[in-house]
Amino acid sequence: MAPSASCPLLQLPAQSLNSKAFLLRPNAKIIAISKRSNLTYFSTSTPSKNDISIHGASRSRYVGVVCSSKGKDPEINEDGVKRVEQLLEERRQAELAARIASGEFTAEQSWLGLLNLAKLRGTLSKLGFPGKFLADAIAGVERNLKIGEEDELQIPQAKGSAGFIGSAPFFIPLYELFLTYGGLFRLKFGPKSFLIVSDPSIAKRILRENSKAYSKGILAEILEFVMGQGLIPADGEVWRVRRRAIVPALHQKYVSAMISLFAQATERLCSKLDAAAQDGEDVEMESLFSRLTLDVIGKAVFNYDFDSLSNDTGIVEAVYTALREAELRSIAVIPTWKIPIWKDLSPRQRKVNASIKFINDTLDSLIDICKKMVESEELQFHEEYMNEQDPSILHFLLASGDDVSSKQLRDDLMTLLIAGHETSAAVLTWTFYLLSKEPSVMLKLQNEVDSVLGDRLPTIDDMKRLKYTTRVINESLRLYPQPPVLIRRSLENDVLGKYPIKRGEDIFISTWNLHRSPEHWVEPEKFNPERWPIDGHNPNEINQNYSYLPFGGGPRKCVGDMFATFETVVALAMLVGRFNFEMAIGAEPVGMTTGATIHTTEGLKMTVTHRIKAPVIPSFENQILAVNGNNTYTNASSSSPGISEVGQESSQQDEVSTACT
Ligand code: HEM
């Protein structure tokens, strides 16, 4: 998901950040530090275009303009200094627009209330601000003017500070504040404010009971460049129509067929780990999980084999560039990518644009190939339709006669790709981290895998037998929810708990806080899969009354919940069945950082050894029917049980109907 790709630090006013580290080339010297703007400009005698780099939106959230002072560069020309000035001016404009949009100027309501916004727009326009900036900036002012009235005083209020944004990921201080201020509080950063929700009944109100009164807010703004009007950022009618088209594609037969795909992809990873174990080399598991889940989702969504475990160029690089950009934008202080000229000048933006174009072209050709396949089929479309050669979601959508523009279809595919990639990778990463700290849980898990699977590959029937494995995933998702915060904006006035709130509030529902609340969990910090009864229902937001919502809830609940649960269960079972995993000796302590999901700061370096038992040589016979020219898989488990029997209390049917009412 990305967050759902999402970090609420977006649009915090620049002045609330502290600047203390910059990427500085040798010999560069500081010519100006603007405390007000928190921008630091480093000097150059004769800069070249290659020497200029803007470091905004970095993980460490520092902003700086760096120019080299090394002698003459072959690329330097007479216009060099002029270009620097132009860039700095653009920068200044962007910064000011962002500060206006962030509501910085709403702090002094007394004078701002007197402002004529139309006049302000006219004046700024004369000063050369582009129209799009103005629209955003004025909208920001308007939004902030509407907030901050009498109801605001009633909601407990916390004040953010530079220290608050220090080095810990943002959801950690939010947890501390939750323990102090309770399940609903307002977090103020200067004039900007956010409502932080950590109370299950309020989360339920927003996500389910009154979901129509809330939109995706800033999340939609961040993700627009890569997901367009895809399901995650879309709101209103577009979302309703696309959800109705996409949910049926993830039917029971499809998800069952995916088990073989999960196993095949995990087997490729096992081969890599075999080699590492043999050579005694440590492995960085986070990036391997990212590749595993990219391979899975490419095949599952549009029948494309990224083969990213062995291939790192071309389309794989383009996808990673787009993903990284989405994450960088989600934590950006200043939206530099909104500056029209910046798109053409900044090497990063040029690379992003080229990558998006490359991905779009690839998707277009995959859509074409699939269309031809569908046209040549003797099609009998029905509810559980699935093409054996190409069971992908794209094939289902085209076969269903879905009347959709190719741009919308691309947005949908891209959204599914991103939503289903980083989330599952993060779940696997943190599960292995947690297991490395609890050897007794690992032992119990391996015992279950040995007795259920032995040396064979998992099938759909095993999903209901791998009970403890599923509980390990459930518990990992409790401690490390992906994403740790869900973002919404109120579209109308509402009442949350006992507090009235106004239209236009930016809201963060902290799943991290909900999942670790001392009010709802015994020993909330403990990794304890046993807290979930082994023969009980699979825990979800409904049976846990919104104190546990790993896949969200209400009409916008994740469409890939079962897919993801089975994917992670299959990968976990196969890996721990074959290997032992320990933290690598001398590895950095594992820290957290946020993008769309929770990442490690330095990767997850582990030592992998073969378990002392005969190595598993899996046989795909009878499980993967055909690997034809397209390398596609189907599941032979024709007598699969209903997925709902697997203990997954499916809420998808429920969500489809809720979503479409
Ligand atoms: C363990 C892996 C996953 C986790 C933890 C996860 C989590 C979530 C969460 C929490 C949401 C709700 C976001 C919100 O309310 O703002 C969501 C939405 C979504 N997820 Fe997942 N997800 C996972 C895997 C997947 C996969 C594999 C797919 C696709 C095959 C997928 C597709 C989506 C889509 C399309 C949405 C948006 C639904 C809508 O707004 O109608 N997710 N996911």
> Tens digit of pLDDT for each residue in 155-177?
999 876 655 555 578 889 899 99
* CA 554–ligand 1 middle distance (angstroms): 12
ipTM, two decimals, is: 0.99
Q: Tell me which of 171, 259, 423 to substitute to probe ligand 1's pocket, judged by most ligand atoms within 8 Å of the beta carbon.
A: 423
Q: Is the pLDDT of residue 365 over 70?
A: yes
- Cα–Cα distance measured from residue 657 to residue 111, given in angstroms and rounded to the nearest whole number: 49
Which 8-state DSSP code applies to residue 624?
Answer: B
- Cα–Cα distance measured from residue 358 to residue 356, given in angstroms and rounded to the nearest whole number: 5
Q: Tell me which of 417, 558, 654 to substitute to probe ligand 1's pocket, judged by most ligand atoms within 8 Å of the beta carbon.
A: 558
Q: Across residues 388-409, what is the average pLDDT?
A: 93
* CA 537–ligand 1 middle distance (angstroms): 21
Task: Indicate the residue type of 323.
Answer: L
Q: Domains of the chain, with CATH numbers?
A: 202-610 (1.10.630.10)
- Cα–Cα distance measured from residue 610 to residue 445, given in angstroms and rounded to the nearest whole number: 16
What are the angstrom distances between the C-alpha of 135 and each of 9, 93, 117, 539? Answer: 21, 14, 11, 44
What secondary structure does DSSP assign to 180-214, as a single string? HH-SEEEEEETTEEEEEE--HHHHHIIIIITGGGE
CA-closest residue to ligand 1 atom 43: 558
CA-closest residue to ligand 1 atom 11: 558
Q: Is the pLDDT of residue 581 over 90?
A: yes
Question: What is the CB neighbour count within 10 angstroms for residue 284?
Answer: 15
The dihedral formed by the CA atoms of 217, 220, 222 and 223, expressed in degrees to the nearest 10:
160
* CA 70–ligand 1 middle distance (angstroms): 48
Which pLDDT belongs to residue 86? Answer: 53
- Cα–Cα distance measured from residue 87 to residue 54, given in angstroms and rounded to the nearest whole number: 10
CA-closest residue to ligand 1 atom 7: 551
CA-closest residue to ligand 1 atom 6: 551
Which pLDDT belongs to residue 630? Answer: 33
Render pLDDT for 626-645 as a digit per residue (tens, 0 to 9).
333 333 323 333 333 334 43
CA-closest residue to ligand 1 atom 3: 423
CA-closest residue to ligand 1 atom 5: 482
- Cα–Cα distance measured from residue 102 to residue 340, given in angstroms and rounded to the nearest whole number: 20
Render pLDDT for 511-534 as a digit per residue (tens, 0 to 9).
999 999 999 999 999 999 999 999
- Atom from ligand 1 closest to the CA of residue 477: 5
Model confidence at 437, in pLDDT bands (50, 70, 90)? very high
- Cα–Cα distance measured from residue 309 to residue 383, given in angstroms and rounded to the nearest whole number: 34
* CA 473–ligand 1 middle distance (angstroms): 16
CA-closest residue to ligand 1 atom 16: 486
Facing residues of 185 across strands?
Answer: 196
The answer to whether 660 is annotated as binding is no
Which pLDDT belongs to residue 485? Answer: 94
Q: Is the pLDDT of residue 6 over 80?
A: no
Which pLDDT belongs to residue 652? Answer: 41
Q: Global pTM? A: 0.75
| Phi (first) and psi of residue 494, to 5 degrees | -155, 175
Model confidence at 221, in pLDDT bands (50, 70, 90)? confident
What secondary structure does DSSP assign to 115-137, as a single string? --HHHHHHHHHHTT--HHHHHHH
- Cα–Cα distance measured from residue 292 to residue 294, given in angstroms and rounded to the nearest whole number: 6
Q: Is the pLDDT of residue 290 over 50?
A: yes
* CA 420–ligand 1 middle distance (angstroms): 7
* Residue 473: closest CA among 558, 532, 522: 532
- Cα–Cα distance measured from residue 654 to residue 631, given in angstroms and rounded to the nearest whole number: 34
| Whether 598 contacts 3, CB under 8 Å | no
- Atom from ligand 1 closest to the CA of residue 487: 16
Q: Is the pLDDT of residue 509 over 50?
A: yes
Which pLDDT belongs to residue 189? Answer: 77
* CA 298–ligand 1 middle distance (angstroms): 16
Crossing angle of helices 406-437 and 218-227, in 10° steps, is 110
Strand pairing class (506-510; 485-490): antiparallel
Using a 6 Å CB cutoff, which residues line ligand 1? 1, 4, 231-232, 243, 415-416, 419-420, 423-424, 427, 482, 486, 550-552, 556, 558-560, 563-564
CA-closest residue to ligand 1 atom 33: 558
What are the angstrom distances between the C-alpha of 390 and each of 211, 402, 458, 621? Answer: 36, 17, 21, 19
Weakest-pLDDT range from 214-223, 236-245, 319-328, 354-363: 319-328
Q: Is the pLDDT of residue 446 over 70?
A: yes
Render pLDDT for 44-64 as a digit per residue (tens, 0 to 9).
233 333 332 222 222 222 222
Task: Indicate the residue type of 514.
Answer: L
